[in-house]
Amino acid sequence: MDAALHEEVQRDAFRLDVLQGLGLPQKSLPSRWLYDARGCELFERITTLPEYYPTRTETAILRKHAAEIARFCGPGSNLIEYGAGAGIKTQIVVGALESPRSYVPIDIAVGFLELTAARLRRQFAGLRVIPVIADFTADFSLPPRVLDGGRHVAFFPGSTLGNLSPQEAGLFLQRLSHHVGPQGAAIIGGDLHKDVDVLLAAYDDAAGITAQFNRNILARINRELGGQFSPCQFRHVARWNPLEAAVEMHLESPIDQVVGIGGKGFGFRRGETIHTESSRKYEIRGFSQFARRHGWRTLRLWTDARRRFAVFGLI
Ligand code: AVJ
């Protein structure tokens, strides 16, 4: 699919999700729509905030255990990354691998994907970089040339698995297992249970960047779907949901209001929210059991001294 067509298909999917999600009793939008160019930029800023410990903690874990992680992957392996990140984690892992065969970043944001591919080619001269445009939350196959020769290792850092519903996460793990084949492996980051105050602060920072990130989805509806939201008429809320073991982000309407989107009106009562993202937090055993039910065995575990975050080596 070419890039222009891809954008168009994405916009139609976005419109469908918005019209459907805002019609639900608990208004809700799939979190993947938070990540347009502006959203990615804001998320990058979140990762540097003092309250947002996950990125910093996971990066330190990868750095500290890079040699072991490389041994876990084995020589001549192919690293398949689901979601092309800003690069530092990738750089640590690829840089530690023994004669890697290829790096395959998969992302839905075409521009971001090309930038990532170009940077990796620059950083690792001679590395085969094969970008794949795909929505990794949906079913898709890898192009055959990705799969010729060597061991395949799926890399899914950031606890992004925790943004998927349990059902989606289960299907995702099964898909990974198909992608990498019977000799394959996976390296997956998972954010762990901890003090609720620490968790909530990470999703409601003092500088208000997470609030901007959350409200950007309303600005995106305005930009791409002709919506009439006043983003400042919605309050950013981070909540701990103990039943789901997840931090949820919501956008709360402080007033009764009606917002038009492409000729349709959506009513908000005062205090009503749009649920925009869930970030599930894991227990090490719970994660391993979940992975096991979806085709994986935990072979290795790397974590920080405070056990804030875990990186799982699965086969
Ligand atoms: C995309 C999973 C890395 O859930 O922690 C950060 C996204 N949302 N602050 C997370 C996010 C609000 C983040 N990950």
Q: Which atom of ligand 1 is nearest to the CA of 35?
A: 1
Over range 189-198, report the average pLDDT: 98
Contact assessment for residue 32 and residue 137, using Cβ atoms and an 8 Å cutoff: yes
How does strand 298-303 pair with strand 152-156? unpaired
The Å distance, Cα 279 to ligand 1 centre, comes to: 7
- What is the model's pLDDT at position 155? 98
Is residue 133 classed as helix, strand or coil in its secondary structure? strand
Q: How confident is the model at residue 315 (pLDDT cuts 50, 70, 90)?
A: very high
Over range 96-106, report the average pLDDT: 95
- Cβ–ligand 1 distance for 199 under 6 Å, the answer no
Q: Whose CA is nearest to atom 9 of ligand 1?
A: 203
Over range 93-114, report the average pLDDT: 91
Q: Whose CA is nearest to atom 14 of ligand 1?
A: 160
Dmax (CA) for the chain in angstroms is: 60
Q: What is the DSSP string of 94-108?
A: HHHSSS--EEEEEES
CA within 13 Å, CB half, 212: 14
The Å distance, Cα 160 to ligand 1 centre, comes to: 7
- What is the model's pLDDT at position 258? 98
- What is the model's pLDDT at position 1? 63
Positions of E strands within the chain: 78-82, 102-107, 128-129, 132-133, 152-156, 185-191, 235-241, 246-252, 257-261, 264-268, 273-280, 298-303, 309-314
Q: How confident is the model at residue 137 (pLDDT cuts 50, 70, 90)?
A: confident
- The share of the chain scoring above pLDDT 70, in percent, equals 99
Tokens, residue 43: 């998320």
Tokens, residue 164: 């998927």
Over range 231-257, report the average pLDDT: 97
pLDDT at 3 over 80: no
